[in-house]
Amino acid sequence: MGGGTMNGGDVHANTNTEASLKRSEVVIGRCGVPEVTLNSGHKMPMLATGTASFPFPPIEDLKKAILDAMEVGYRHFDSAALYQSEEGLGVAVAAALEKGLIKSRDELFITTKLWCNNTQPDRVLPAIQESLRKLKLDYVDLYLIHFPVRLKEDILDMTCKKDEIFPLDIKSVWEAMEEVHKLGLAKSIGVSNFTCKKLTDLLAHAKIPPAVNQVEMHPVWQQKKLRDFCKEKGIHVSAYSPLGAKEWGFDVVLGNELLNEIAQAKGKSVAQIALRWGHEQGVTLIPKSFNKGRLKQNFEIFDWQLTEEELQKIASIPQKRIATIPEFVFPDGPFKTFEEFWDGEM
Ligand code: A2P
């Protein structure tokens, strides 16, 4: 499973994932990672390296982690204006080309996200142009609206006051996203942190449907309802925090007793069990690791399966959304409760 040759062609993945996605939608792709064909017609590797790390790491550390990931075989990288990781990713891509780790930028799948201070129609194009400048790229493979909210123009992170956050006018912002796609700056466009209700609103206006909805998903927050909805609408689900938001200091997944039991019995790590479970649900996984050993471990999930009994046990885990995003909820703001922010999908 190391970095190296690419398997082209339409070789069908022989995994339980086929049960979750139509057989024709998943093929073995770059470096042995299954790829899904998005509703835009573009293929996306179903395992990515996340680049969100707080406090922000020095560019050199980010570059090293991304080059390590490429050596392991990762070809899909997930960044965002919020994470301030675009510049480091751009430096790493340029270095990978120079070192010959990849022959062309087209071998990579690069995602970035529109921050909420730019979720106004006239700010979307300048925002992606700035992201592309930092990434040193002509296009991204996937551009996502990061959250379904608008923030005051000078808010660059999640710390806002109640009068600095507003509901999103999805119709006009999505039109601007569609324009970005038509200009060739993003091969696919999508959203992140959208509920079934917000997707329904979006689909009522969209000429181009979102290709992806990137949301929190792991064995402790399985997102069954949202996944069923997205499947019906042809929207692919990507899982952020697939290890249970460990990056934010939670250990609900890696510390889960049942997952630990399964891991021990199978001779796998708990992280591998969580990731393999996500893969078998047919979603794209975005674990973040800046450690080469763990990057490798997280990559080694495609040549074994969970049993029906193990899947049933995992299905019985009590459910809890971890990333509730308290930063955006104010008793006298536009989103008064978590239930309101997440449209009751808690
Ligand atoms: P590190 O970068 O030191 O590997 P999530 O993507 O769910 O937010 O989880 C990311 C966090 O989990 C990071 O803190 C990362 O730390 C850690 N991590 C990544 N892979 C593993 C693994 N295989 N085992 C344990 N921790 C991991």
Q: Which atom of ligand 1 is nearest to the CA of 297?
A: 23
CB of 37 closer than 8 Å to CB of 43: yes
% of the chain at pLDDT higher than 70: 92
If DSSP states are collapsed to H, E and C, what string results for 14-66?
A: CCCHHHHCCHHHEEECHHHCEEEECCCCCEEECECEECCCCCCCCHHHHHHHH
Residues identified as active-site:
83
Average pLDDT, integer, range 222-234: 97
Q: Is residue 2 part of a domain?
A: no
In which band, very low, low, confident or very high, does the pLDDT at 22 lie, cut at 50, 70 and 90? low
In which band, very low, low, confident or very high, does the pLDDT at 15 lie, cut at 50, 70 and 90? low
Q: Is residue 16 part of a domain?
A: yes
Q: Is residue 119 part of a domain?
A: yes
Nearest CA to ligand 1 atom 4: 289
Taking only the tens place, the pLDDT of each residue in 127-181 is 999 999 999 999 999 999 999 999 999 999 999 999 999 999 999 999 999 999 9
CB of 92 closer than 8 Å to CB of 75: no
Q: Which atom of ligand 1 is nearest to the CA of 298?
A: 23
CB of 93 closer than 8 Å to CB of 67: no
Distance 16 CA to ligand 1 centre (A): 24
Q: Is the CB of 61 under 6 A from ligand 1?
A: no
Nearest CA to ligand 1 atom 25: 271
Distance 254 CA to ligand 1 centre (A): 9
Q: Is the CB of 243 under 6 A from ligand 1?
A: yes
Q: Is residue 1 part of a domain?
A: no
Q: Is residue 346 part of a domain?
A: no
Q: What is the mean pLDDT of the chain?
A: 92
Assess whether pLDDT exceeds 90 at residue 185: yes
Q: Is residue 308 part of a domain?
A: yes
Assess whether pLDDT exceeds 50 at residue 6: no
Residue 138: predicted pLDDT: 98
In which band, very low, low, confident or very high, does the pLDDT at 17 lie, cut at 50, 70 and 90? low
Assess whether pLDDT exceeds 50 at residue 207: yes
Residue 18: predicted pLDDT: 52
Inter-CA distances, 256 with 267, 269, 270, 323, Å: 16, 12, 9, 17
In which band, very low, low, confident or very high, does the pLDDT at 1 lie, cut at 50, 70 and 90? very low
Q: Is residue 317 part of a domain?
A: yes
Residue 28: predicted pLDDT: 84
- Look up the domain containing 210 and give its range: 8-341
Nearest CA to ligand 1 atom 18: 289
Residues annotated within the binding site are 146
Q: Which amino acid does the sequence have at 120?
A: Q
Q: Is the CB of 297 under 6 A from ligand 1?
A: yes
Assess whether pLDDT exceeds 80 at residue 204: yes
Report how many domains make up the chain: 1
Euclidean distance between CA atoms 298 and 287, whole angstroms: 8
Residue 249 structure tokens? 């200091």
Q: Is the CB of 247 under 6 A from ligand 1?
A: yes
| Reported pTM | 0.93
Taking only the tens place, the pLDDT of each residue in 55-108 is 899 999 999 999 999 999 999 999 999 999 999 999 999 999 999 999 999 999
Q: Which CATH number fits the domain that encloses residue 290?
A: 3.20.20.100
Q: Is the CB of 271 under 6 A from ligand 1?
A: yes
To test the pocket of ligand 1, the residue of 56, 288, 290, 321 to mutate (highest count of ligand atoms within 8 Å of its CB) is 288
Inter-CA distances, 81 with 87, 89, 130, 244, Å: 10, 12, 9, 22
**Ramachandran bin of 161, using left for φ above 0, alpha for ψ from -120 to 50, beta for the remaining angles:** beta
